[in-house]
Amino acid sequence: MTIHQLSIFIENRSGTLIKVLDALKEANIQIIASTIADTADYGIYRIICSEPLRACEELKKAGVAVAISEVFVISIDNKPGRAADAVKAFSKAGIDITYMYSFLNENRGLLIFRTNDNDKALQIIKENNMQAISEDALQSM
């Protein structure tokens, strides 16, 4: 139930982000959601996009340091407290969330996160009747 996320190493100087975005544009890849984890010297640009495996190959061809990470996407009501409920369930099960970001799709909130234990996370998602989004479903949004 995990989906593919692109994780891209970019240096903190002008032009590096454009290089990545241009390569995605050339390959006709659509970005669904993205976020940057920034440090003083570099950033890690995380992207959920169409055709992630092909996108990864295209970026590699362009000389970009890119890797595929497995992340979960769960759909929640766009109401106060729903994200807290989801995170609490993982926390109670002792699962660490490595990072998380979110975006809105129509009336649904979508939480994207990576954990330190994907199998256990999937179990918690099922036990709590959370609505995990598959890669196919995400692509057709």
Partner 1 sequence: MIWNPNKECMSRDEMSALQGKRLHKIVEYVYHNVPFYRNKLQEMDIRPDDIQTIEDIRKLPFTTKKDLRDNYPFGLQAAPQSEIIRVHASSGTTGNPTIVGYTRKDIGVWSECMARCLTAYGVTRDDIFSVSYGYGLFTGGLGAHYGVEHLGASVIPAGTGNTEKHLKLIRDLGITGIACTPSYALYLAETMDKLGIRKEDIKLRVGAFGAEPWTENMRHEIQERLGLKGYNLYGLSEVMGPSVSYECQMQHGSHICEDHFYPEIINPVTLEPLPSGQTGELVFTTLTKEGMPVLRYRTRDLCSLLPGTCDCGRTSVRMGRIEGRSDDMLIIRGINVFPSQVESVVLSMPEFAPRYMLIVDRINNLDTLEVQVEIRQEFFTGVFDTPAAIDQLEKKLASKLKSVLSISAKVKLKAPNTIERSQGKSAHVIDNRKL
The nearer residue to partner 1, 41 or 106, going by C-beta atoms, is 41
CA angle 70, 66, 28 (to 5 degrees): 90
Quote the least distance from Cβ 110 to partner 1, whole Å.
19
User: 63 or 80: whose CB is closer to partner 1?
Assistant: 63
For the chain, state the CA radius of gyration: 16
- List residues binding partner 1 (CB under 8 A): 5, 7, 9-11, 16, 37, 39, 41-42, 44, 46, 60, 63-70, 98-99, 114
97 vs 122 by CB, closer to partner 1? 97
Closer residue to partner 1 in complex, CB, 54/126:
54
Q: How far is the CB of 101 from partner 1 (least distance, A)?
A: 12
- Phi, psi (rounded to 5 degrees) for 80: -60, 140
E-strand ranges in 50-107 read 65-77, 97-105
The nearest distance, CB 10 to partner 1, in angstroms, is 7
Read off the tokens for 114. Answer: 């990576």
CA distances from 98 to 60, 71, 112, 128 (A): 25, 10, 11, 20
